[in-house]
Amino acid sequence: MRTATVVAIGVMFCAMGVFALIAPAALARPFGIRVQTPQSRSEIRAVYGGFGIAVAAMLWWAAAGSTDRHAGIVIAVGIALAGMACGRLVSRLLDTATPFYPIWFYFCVEAVGAGLLIAIA
């Protein structure tokens, strides 16, 4: 169960990363972000694409490795996901309410992913 969870979350990061590399504007569109310049496409590809694929690779490496490596990587990614979810909560406190999708949908994905990873670390 631990390995399957880590691999599955890695697959989600990889899918996001590949999508960001191929279609950065489409990735950002649900958030109302206009991606119109080479600089903005580069930023989406770097932060969501390259970083997402790197996180996936680390999770897969953790799933295939020793207990020590597994725990460190899984906790780090879990805390990163928790930080993302917390950022959405801060935004809700400082901004107006938003519809469930995409903000709260991704909040749920991040919070559940964080909880699962931290619990199995």
CB count within 10 Å of CB 89 equals 11
Judge contact between 45 and 35, C-beta under 8 A. Answer: no
Judge contact between 73 and 59, C-beta under 8 A. Answer: yes
- Give the integer Cα–Cα distance in Å for 30 and 28: 6
- Give the integer Cα–Cα distance in Å for 24 and 36: 10
- Give the integer Cα–Cα distance in Å for 81 and 100: 18
User: What are the tokens at 46?
Assistant: 């770097």
Model pTM above 0.85: yes
pLDDT average per 10 residues of sequence, the chain (121 residues): 94 98 97 96 97 97 85 96 98 95 97 97 89
